[in-house]
Amino acid sequence: MKPVLLIDFGSTYTKVTAVDVEEEKLLGTAASFTTIFTDINEGLNDAVRKLEEKTGKLDFSERYACSSAAGGLKMISSGLVPELTAEAAKMASLGAGAKVIKVYSFKLTEDDADEIRAAKPDIMLLVGGTDGGNSDCILHNAGVIAGIEDPFPVIIAGNRSAARECERILSPTHKAYICENVMPKFDQLNILPTQKQIRDIFLERIITAKGLSKASDLISGIVNPTPAAVMRGIKLLAEGTGDEPGIGELLAVDVGGATTDVYTVCDGRPTKGNTVFKGLPEPYEKRTVEGDIGMRYSIKGIVLASGIEKISELSGIPADRCEEMIEHLAGHTDEVPTSDEWERLDYALASMAIDTAVDRHAGHITEAYTLMGLSFIQHGKDLSNIHRIIVTGGSLIHTRRTDEIAAHALYCARSPYSLRPVRADILVDRSYIIAAMGLLSEHYPKAALRIMKKELEHLGTVISPDLGSQREDKGFIPDAGPGQCHGF
């Protein structure tokens, strides 16, 4: 036996996972309240104690950790054009595991500076202009940021012709890092160098700022942002290793109390001959975070997005009673369902959280009439041919209706031009192991992949109930043939 401990320092809970990398199996999981504002080791040691009550005493050969504690890695991005460089900056930040709390476009104002000062970001990403293009905006914004007293680090990843001047402007008040332009040419993305720099700064500065250095003597390797670990685990599950196949392109959704995170590992390009793509190219590995959609802290965002009538319809609870219950949960964020009525409300809320978050993540089709007749323009990723959906989050793992909730990730007649999956195998991560397997994959990828294949529970195949003749007649509905089950 060779036990390895994987640790996730969350804002509320510190979660631990023990695996045996020799036998490639899960030994156990446990959690305890995070104690980051006193001594982070207290919560960690308590979680390990609870774990060993289940597994017996374990002599861990290695320990690896990730963290979203104290709000995670908060980032603010500033670009030029909203749908171009500002969007590229957002993609780079989210893909690196950051929580993007604000994205600015064009020139920053004094009011913007006040907002940034109040937000206290961990990192600022400054972009704007293609290489050799507009320099005025990024230079202006560097000057505004330089006037903000809070010494957060700034990554400069815009027009290379202005990068050194931006660094000189920022140097008196902020540590600046120059990266390659996130969009060196129109419609060309280059986000990997910036993502690496974000991770490096996280290691240099954020671990100390979040108090994680107190646990450094207990950890074998470096600490990663939790979303980055999740993305790594999902990518491994989809693609596999050199000698162990993955399960193919997939969509994953994590419904939390404050946010709903959506991940895809897929090509996402148009699949129909009469469709053309418009906008920035989509990353193969994509993450989006819906900060207004969550089961408790952001519960009212679900209602705003879907409407109280839909919540009432799904739950079978009168609308006025739904509003009363939702108001109660907004003020009591630690409550879990204790009766059939509360379970039905949570079912409706979780269903609409997934519906909204996946709809925002997926691409959309618009109609265009040309000399050749009706054509379609695609914005964002085409997920219609994805046949595997992974779900997790308290509202999905502690219910008997997980597959019903997950089905709301599929095509919906209320959004007929959304390129969501139409049929998929549903798998649930009931033990919250994907982040842990993402950590483990850096050192034991085959073991991490095989453990996920064993532990993810396969709930069967679901088909969208809303497949209508309108989409079929217009010629862009994907084949809703059998999904591909990989033996889960």
Looking at the domain assignment, is residue 43 inside a domain?
yes
CB 117 within 8 A of CB 152: no
Note whether 199 and 98 are same-domain residues.
yes
Note whether 114 and 66 are same-domain residues.
no
Strand partners for 264: 251, 286
Looking at the domain assignment, is residue 330 inside a domain?
no
Label residue 210 by pLDDT band (50, 70, 90).
low
| pLDDT tens for each residue of 274-311 | 888 888 888 899 998 888 899 988 899 999 999 999 99
Note whether 272 and 383 are same-domain residues.
yes
Looking at the domain assignment, is residue 125 inside a domain?
yes
Note whether 378 and 276 are same-domain residues.
yes
Note whether 258 and 387 are same-domain residues.
yes
| pLDDT tens for each residue of 94-153 | 877 777 889 999 999 999 999 999 999 989 999 998 999 989 999 999 999 999 988 899
What is the distance between the alpha carbons of residues 58 and 443, in angstroms, rounded to a whole number? 20
**Residue 45 CB partners (closer than 8 Å, separation 6+):** none
Output the CA–CA distances (angstroms, integers) from residue 482 to 196, 251, 409, 423, 463, in the order listed: 39, 17, 17, 8, 9
What is the distance between the alpha carbons of residues 141 and 150, in angstroms, rounded to a whole number? 16
Label residue 81 by pLDDT band (50, 70, 90).
confident
Residue 381 clears pLDDT 60, i.e. is over it = yes
Smallest CA-to-CA distance from 55 within 95, 25, 32 is with 25
Looking at the domain assignment, is residue 253 inside a domain?
yes
CATH number at residue 182: 3.40.50.2300
Note whether 388 and 469 are same-domain residues.
yes
Note whether 397 and 268 are same-domain residues.
yes
Start-to-end C-alpha separation, the chain: 25
Note whether 393 and 377 are same-domain residues.
yes
Note whether 138 and 257 are same-domain residues.
no
Number of domains the chain is built from: 3
Looking at the domain assignment, is residue 335 inside a domain?
no
Q: How long, in residues, is the chain? A: 488
Strand partners for 374: 369
Looking at the domain assignment, is residue 229 inside a domain?
no
What is the distance between the alpha carbons of residues 15 and 29, in angstroms, rounded to a whole number? 7
Q: Where are the beta strands (DSSP E) in 35-184?
A: 62-67, 74-78, 99-104, 123-126, 154-156, 176-178
Q: What is the mean pLDDT of residues 412-430?
A: 92
Looking at the domain assignment, is residue 256 inside a domain?
yes
Note whether 176 and 215 are same-domain residues.
no
Q: What is the mean pLDDT of residues 322-335?
A: 92
User: Domain residues for 215?
Assistant: 3-70+210-221
Note whether 55 and 175 are same-domain residues.
no
Instruction: Quote the mean pLDDT of the chain.
Output: 87
Looking at the domain assignment, is residue 365 inside a domain?
yes
Note whether 43 and 84 are same-domain residues.
no
Can you read off the two tokens belonging to residue 98? 């950051």
Q: What is the mean pLDDT of residues 315-341?
A: 93
Strand partners for 154: 124, 176
